[in-house]
Structure 1
Amino acid sequence: MNPFSLFVVFLIIWWTVLFTVLPRNIKGQAESNDVVKGTEPGAPVDSNIKDKFILTTKIAAVIWVLVCGLIWSDLVSWDMFGDWFRRR
């Protein structure tokens, strides 16, 4: 696998993990009784986005290593899925 492919695989995994991490521990303004005038009551009080990016990167790195290990070990290859694409 070339470096660009490695980066693309990591990026896809990172974005997927990000969308699972983002909704965690969100507290809205209405829940904290601190609604700022002119804003949506469901808007987050403190989103902790930096912490979520760090957590996303750590989780994605572990998944990325596992995926790359599967690819390099030849346990999973395009040949396994070749018949699926050829059948019509």
Structure 2
Amino acid sequence: MSWYSAFAIYFIFWWVTLFVILPFGVRSQKEDGEMILGTDQGAPTNPSLLKKSIWTTFISGVLFALYFYAYTQMEIGIEFFDFMPGPK
């Protein structure tokens, strides 16, 4: 696997993991009772984006390491999954 492919796959893992982690620990302005004029009541009061990006980097790194091990050592790639039957 080239490093371009590895980076692209890690990039995909990172963004998917970020979207999974984003909703955790979020409190809206309505829940906290601190409404800021001109903002939506569902807007988060403290989204903690730095903490979430650090967790995202760590978790996506672990997921990528598992994927890389399966791809290089166990030789599990896209060919392993038979989505459509081939010609007979």
Q: Which residue of 2 aligns with 1:62?
A: 62
Deviation digits for residues 29-88 of structure 1, max 9, x if unmatched? Answer: 00000001111111100100011000000000000000000000134134323672636x
After TM superposition, the structure 1 = structure 2 runs for residues 1-88 of structure 1, keeping only pairs within 5 Å, are: 1-81=1-81, 84=84, 86=86
TM-score w.r.t. structure 2 length? Answer: 0.89
After superposition, the CA RMSD in angstroms is: 1.7
TM-score w.r.t. structure 1 length? Answer: 0.89
The share of aligned pairs that are identical, in percent, is 29
Spell out structure 1 runs of 4+ moving beyond 6 A: none
Deviation digits for residues 7-48 of structure 1, max 9, x if unmatched? Answer: 011001111100000001000000000001111111100100
CA distance in 1, matches of 2:85, 2:52: 38
Q: Which amino acid aligns with 1:5?
A: S
Unaligned runs of 5+ in 1: none
Unaligned runs of 5+ in 2: none
Q: How many residues are aligned here?
A: 87
